Structure 1
Amino acid sequence: MFQDALFVPDRNFRAKAAALPVAALVHAVVLTLLVTIPLLRVGDLPEIDLTDVIVVPAPPRPPLPPPKARAGNPGGHIRAKRAVAASADPWRFTPVVIPDGIVEEGFGVEGVEGGIEGGLDYGADGGFPRNFIGNMLYTIIGEPAEPVVRAAGDIRAPRLVRKVEPDYPEIARQARVEGVVILEATTDVYGRVTGVRVLRSLPFLDEAAIEAVRQWVYEPMVINGRPRPVTFTVTVRFVLKNSEERAGDR
């Protein structure tokens, strides 16, 4: 009977043990709400008292006392010295006496040390011909464009001073095309090529020849002391030799 009393299960203990987690959870939720609700509440902002501020200017300084009279000046007055600013430019000041007329300033031409008084009418030996530069500038700026002169007979083609080698097109190299392209070029008074047209064509090579000649620069053509545009013939030769491309002009 004593053993049976020791091992009798307590139903109330089991019920209390099962309700313990639920009670702990409820207490945790209540504590969380008690902490977070005051934080989430938006409080009213405190009122701020505004005070009008009036800015009053400072009172003026009292006048300075008069200076003490010196022994040589019994009246006590001090004469102020007039400071006149010295200027190196006299034209900034209005003259006291108005002149009767205006004197024109002369623009003297200073000569060169060792020169001849009065100069030379036709320049010196070894210089340009008379009015060469003047005629050139007048031709370029003042007069209408001069007609184009064709290089023929006594008029020779201008001298080439800058040459750009033409490129050998890949299609012409593969087709083994070689030969001569004859062009007609026109230069302006400065020696620059302004126009190119084909006189004798060669398949696949015309554009390469034209593109190269457009970049060439010639010596200006001067006829009777005046620069003139000139038209002349240009020969561009394309040669294939030992699987190597070579292009040139004649």
Structure 2
Amino acid sequence: MTTLSLVGIGSGNPDHLTRQALKTLEAADVILLPRKGGEKTELADLRRMIAAELLTTAPKIVEFDYPLRDADTPKYLDGVNTWHDALAAIWQDLITTHVPQGGHVALMVWGDPSLYDSTLRIADRLIARGIPLTVNVVPGITSLQMLTAAHAIPLNTLGDPVQITTGRKLREDGWPEGISTVAVMLDGNCSFQHLVPEDLHIWWGGYVGMDQQILIEGPLAEVCAKIIKARADARASIGWIMDIYLLRKST
């Protein structure tokens, strides 16, 4: 039996690793380290630094290249499922190659493995393929937590629910009925610009928790263009961007 530990490492600041995360990584026989292309070398470099400088043990480090998702697939979920199948095949090959008799494999996951991340779904695919696997999840600080902390705001208003969604769903479905606060993740298109901005306030953050952190907040009608420009400038300068935002209706 192989243990696969999915370890949340937060959103870019090594100080945000929990003691549980460090202990789990130190106990691993093998740490799988994904590479996501030249423009995101900083993400792989952070994982390498954690393994080389923060751990008191020396697990074997196995790097692998992330397959690209085909963005041209007509149906979004079909493209995502094909991508997940490809990742599952890579993980299966790495696990059977490096711990053929079973052992402890760890994977560092940006943010938290259970919040808008697909590592758990990929692990389920391995189990469905007959790989004898026990999955262990170590929670990490999420970008949503970092966003609200950076802006010093509560996630919710008193007595009201919060909806967490994606930019794609916000564009397709509009503002959710009966909800005053919406947190938006995985939005590469600044979907807030398609909303009627009156009575909406936005708290936006790019690279939250990292040295490059950028924060903008204010009435959507006033800061919409500013956020779009800041995001485009940062992406052009750094080569990639990870951002998240919270929208709230005035009451």
Q: TM-score range by the shorter chain?
A: under 0.3
Tell me which of the two structures has the higher relative contact order, counting C-alpha pairs closer than 8 angstroms and 6 or more residues apart.
2
Normalising by structure 2, we get a TM-score of 0.18
Greater fraction of residues in helix: 2
